[in-house]
Amino acid sequence: MTQPRTDHQVRRSDLAVILERYRAYAGESGCERIEAAFDYALAAHESQRRKTGEPYIIHPLAVAEILTELEVDADTLIAALLHDTVEDTDRTLEEVREHFGEEVANLVDGVTKLGRIPYSSKEEIQAENFRKMFLAMAKDIRVVMIKLADRLHNMRTMRHQTPEKQMEKARETLDIYAPLAHRLGIYKIKWELEDLCLRYIDQDAYYELVGSISQKRSEREHYLEEIVAQIQSKIREMGIEPEIEGRPKHFYSIYRKMKSQGKDLDQIYDLFATRIIVSSVADCYAVLGLVHELYKPMPGRFKDYIAMPKPNMYQSLHSTVIGPKGIPFEVQIRTYDMHRTAEYGIAAHWKYKEGDKSRGKDDQTEESKLAWLRQLLEWQKEMRDAGYGYAFPVLYNEMTDRVWDLRKAGLGLLSNIPGDTRSVTVIEDTAVNVEDLPAYIAEFKQILKKRDGVFFARISVMV
């Protein structure tokens, strides 16, 4: 008779999946260290359980497994396995540094919340925790990759939390983590985070949307199959071998369109898109010409993100066309490299090779993508050191109706400023496009030079 597997054996099988995925893109180098990190985390979390009743080690394993999809390096996987050991167990950062090295310790520290420090309010703690995370990610993008994977798994298991906690974390995710994923171009995580948040932000709308879309699924799938078959046949006649898929749009994007346009689901026609992946840029434009021959393009609905990429490196051709039966659908055309970047963003290019920390031109380009955040944090430090006060970065998600309001959290931190805080003046409460940030900072510095007293500024960074 076969004996049931123990928790330890189940966890070992989960680790084996992570190692198998890692070996597929990185080889054997680093596997022993990853196994050692698992053993260390398993021992540290041995007596802990999650709200689900499952062993706590399930969470760091899940975070590491999500990160293998981004093809991260060994140090990032090790840090993912260890990311809660310092915060939630009696293990120390010094022990992590001793066992796994300085780089892993810095990553673990970057994702560890501040603890055992007296703060006057919950908002103040939250503000400082986010500030710490922003500082860490400005130095090393891998910090935010771990945080995004951590938040994704927590949102996947949020059903076990109280309704109040579900709403709080969903709001926080929509306001902070989804915009970060968007800014870094990691759409695969961004889309899932947004759909998971919608389930708790507007539960009735979510389940009504899911139910309505499910009822029409077979009709839409048949429609998409016809389109895909026709396009694929015509493209092959051109001597191009494409990869084509039809996909429904994500629930949150449909929900947002219904809200912004004041429409019912029956009035939203482009509920799905056809994605065409080819080998070269020349093939992209050739296929676009073919699609416009087959279907009538809608005026004003063509975007060339290949010639003019988005700031987060996204490249693709987008065109909405009128399909059979007069139903519009969107076509996205890109190369395989562009597709990987579209799914994983900056993570598709941010490579850390074992034993080689040298950076080439491409790495410097990717590093420049976080220049806006470094600028804002450096400016914040300059203001504080000069005695002016505080400027807090706020990530504004253009796809929600809310800006994460740091005014209360920020004003709470004014208790740390020497002197009479009654003289504090809130002189800025504005939104700034990322591209305009350097000019804005320069102008604001000149304003401060002409003012006396301590000031607080809330800057909403449009990502």
Active site residues: 87-88
**In degrees rounded to 5, what are phi and psi of residue 126?**
-60, -45
What residues contact 39, with CB distance under 8 A and at least 6 apart?
A: none
Collapse the DSSP code of 273 into the 3-class scheme (helix H, G, I; strand E, B; otherwise coil) and give the result.
strand
β-strand 389-396 against 243-248: which pairing, if any?
A: unpaired
Give Cα separations from 383 to 82, 290, 378, 423, 453 (angstroms).
35, 56, 9, 16, 12
395 has which bridge partners?
461
Collapse the DSSP code of 318 into the 3-class scheme (helix H, G, I; strand E, B; otherwise coil) and give the result.
strand
Q: Minimal CA–CA distance to 184: which of 132, 135, 134, 144?
A: 144
DSSP single-letter state for residue 386: T
Other CB atoms within 10 A of residue 91 CB: 20
Order of all β-strands in the sheet with 243-248: 243-248, 272-278, 328-335, 317-322, 296-304
Q: Which amino acid is at 427?
A: I
Check: CB of residue 461 under 8 Å from CB of residue 437: yes
CA atoms of 60 and 81, how far apart (whole Å): 5
